[in-house]
Structure 1
Amino acid sequence: MKGLTSDSLHQTSLRELTTLALKMPRRSCNSSVRNDAAFLFTVVGTTGFLGVLAGQLPGDWGFFLPYLIGSISLVVLAVGSISPGLLQAAIGGFSSFFPDYQERIARHEAAHFLIGYLLGLPILGYSLDIGKEHVNLIDEKLEKLIYSGQLDAKELDRLAVVAMAGLAAEGLKYDKVVGQSADLFTLQRFINRSNPKLSNDQQQNLTRWAVLFAGSLLKNNKVTHEALMSAMSNKATVLECIEAVEKAA
């Protein structure tokens, strides 16, 4: 892969993303709030409905219980402000009720795994468990570069493509991408640890280019991606997943 020797290497238009057949390309680099909104709407709607019912109870119960139920929404918002991780875990569990959620997780994480493998990054582990979904691709040497803020252009390019692979995989399949928030956060972490620093325009160009590059690799390795999804969904070991990739290639 070429490095960031020139920003022109990363110039990628929305038209190019569309020609790749990415769904909703204008939203591909923005965070979706579908799961978050559905969770909060459900909490507020349910507590509101129960509060109205509780108001029909006789005596003090009909006075105090609606206030108690109504406070649940405030507690949820307070938890989200104080400990976002707990709220995200709750949202993750709630999201499992969406019929496409588990398939999305497998498609998303298999894309990170496959692109990392194709680009020469070591695969150390993975999980498809709700709330713990991840693929661990970074070795000790690369971690040192990240923590020291010395990621060079070549390594940033490679990590950017891997980071955007999950987003690209969803974009190739679904009309809306809902699992990209963590990916964009990860990419921003890499960008913040790179040297030299990138301008806002360069960051946007890098993000679109990485989505395009990852999407192209996934389209060219569709059968391999599907085989890896199947292996990961069946809780295969990392070695077994790599064997599945090599057999399908």
Structure 2
Amino acid sequence: MQRALQQHSSAAPFRSHTTSKHQASHRIVVRCAAQAAATADKAKLFEELKESCAAFKKAPPSMKLEFSADILSALKDLQAAAALPKWGCESPEAQAGEEQQSFSGPTARRNVFMGELKQMGIKAPDQIATPSVRNDSAFLFTVVGVCSVAAVVLGQLPGDWGFFTSYLTGAIVLVVLAVGSTAPGLLQVFIDKFSQVFPDYRERVVAHEAAHLLVGYLMGVPVTSYSLGIGQEHVEFAEAKIQARIITRDLSDAEIDGLAVVAVAGVAAEGLKYDEVMGQTADLFDLQRILLRSKSKLSAVQQQNITRWAVWRAAALLKKYSAEHQAVQEALVRGDSVDQIVQAIEAVQTKQ
């Protein structure tokens, strides 16, 4: 009897050890299965985001807002699946916290002076809100110069050919001047094409657009599409964020703050690298439309202060997320889709 009890007691630890090993193995299998399922779910959600972006791209302009709701929903699903920790992480709402009614943290809207912009890294703060005419002037002088030379050369043709061809060539200059003074937007396509002769143009465009995408993403904006045109407006970002036409509703201070930072992100990106900002005209026009929808009426001085603060805030974000900004630029050069750009942002380890 005593021997049996000893055998039983000696076998009990062995069975206990074996059972614990089986339990540990089972937990590992369950954990691996859960991770595999989570990965599959995220892949499916990213595929839904890709399809939503493709549908948005094909949608007519009048339906863009409705299709952006699908992109917003896809991003929220991915965030709920813990796949997008950076989306909206820098928005005023996220910074304030769910229980607070207003944001009063260190990055809250405040008066920002030129010296602070300089300290933040903006090379020429005084050039902010001063439209650049470099590309326009170069295009105009080239048209005038080429047409003048061509008119002189063609004037040497015999007979009436010399008169008519030189006259028509000279008329081109008059047409360009007339269009440029009455509807300058019609010349923007030609100016953009011509501006590619400048060595820094492509680099500026990519950095500018990448800043809008990245800062919009950090502010919780549903990034719907992108265009590598330095004169393009981004009003669709604002409308996708508030899910309404910008002209149909008033905006709260938190909405104004977030959208203002997104609007001038391209200005900040150029200002951090160049003395002259080329693509700020469209950005400042977007900002003006946003400020005009503020619930509280803003004076000219207040609008100027918001502009400076928004540039300062955007520059701070671009410096903090410089690796992500570089990753987005590389993705734009490759021609990646929006879902691929989102994954590129999340794949970067943010510096503290």
Both structures adopt the same fold (TM-score exceeding 0.5): yes
Residue type of the partner of 1:60? D
Structure 1 partner of 2:308: 208
Task: Return the index of the structure with the highest Cα Rg.
Answer: 2
Tell me by how many angstroms 1:34 deviates. Answer: 1.1
Pick aligned residue for 1:144 from 236, 240, 244? 244
Question: Which stretches in structure 1 are left out of the alignment for 5+ residues?
Answer: none
Mapped contact 1:32–1:177 kept (Cα < 8 A):
yes
* Distance (Å, rounded) in 1 between the aligned partners of 2:232 and 2:250: 28
User: Is the deviation greater in 123-132 or in 35-44?
Assistant: 123-132
* Distance (Å, rounded) in 1 between the aligned partners of 2:248 and 2:233: 26
Higher relative contact order (CA 8 A, sep 6+): 1
The Cα offsets for residues 1-45 of structure 1, whole Å up to 9 and x where unpaired, read as 37699xx94311111111112111100222111111111111111
Are residues 29 and 160 of structure 1, via their aligned partners in 2, closer, same or farther at CA, if it must alter by over 3 Å?
same
Structure 1 partner of 2:224: 124
Mapped contact 2:132–2:277 kept (Cα < 8 A):
yes
Alignment: residue pair count? 247
Q: Does 1:190 align with 2:290?
A: yes
Tell me by how many angstroms 1:65 deviates. Answer: 2.7
Residue type of the partner of 1:12? V
* Distance (Å, rounded) in 1 between the aligned partners of 2:231 and 2:103: 34
Tell me by how many angstroms 1:99 deviates. Answer: 1.7
TM-score normalised according to structure 2 size: 0.65
TM-score normalised according to structure 1 size: 0.90
Tell me by how many angstroms 1:236 deviates. Answer: 1.1
RMSD (Å) for aligned C-alpha atoms? 2.4
Mapped contact 1:55–1:66 kept (Cα < 8 A):
yes
Tell me by how many angstroms 1:64 deviates. Answer: 3.3
Q: Does 1:168 align with 2:268?
A: yes
Are residues 162 and 131 of structure 1, via their aligned partners in 2, closer, same or farther at CA, if it must alter by over 3 Å?
closer
SS class of match (1:144): coil
SS class of match (2:226): strand
The Cα offsets for residues 58-83 of structure 1, whole Å up to 9 and x where unpaired, read as 43333333222111011112333454
* Distance (Å, rounded) in 2 between the aligned partners of 1:44 and 1:247: 50
Pick aligned residue for 1:157 from 257, 262, 282? 257
Question: Which stretches in structure 2 are left out of the alignment for 5+ residues?
Answer: 1-91, 97-101
User: Is the deviation greater in 146-155 or in 136-145?
Assistant: 136-145
Mapped contact 1:126–1:133 kept (Cα < 8 A):
no
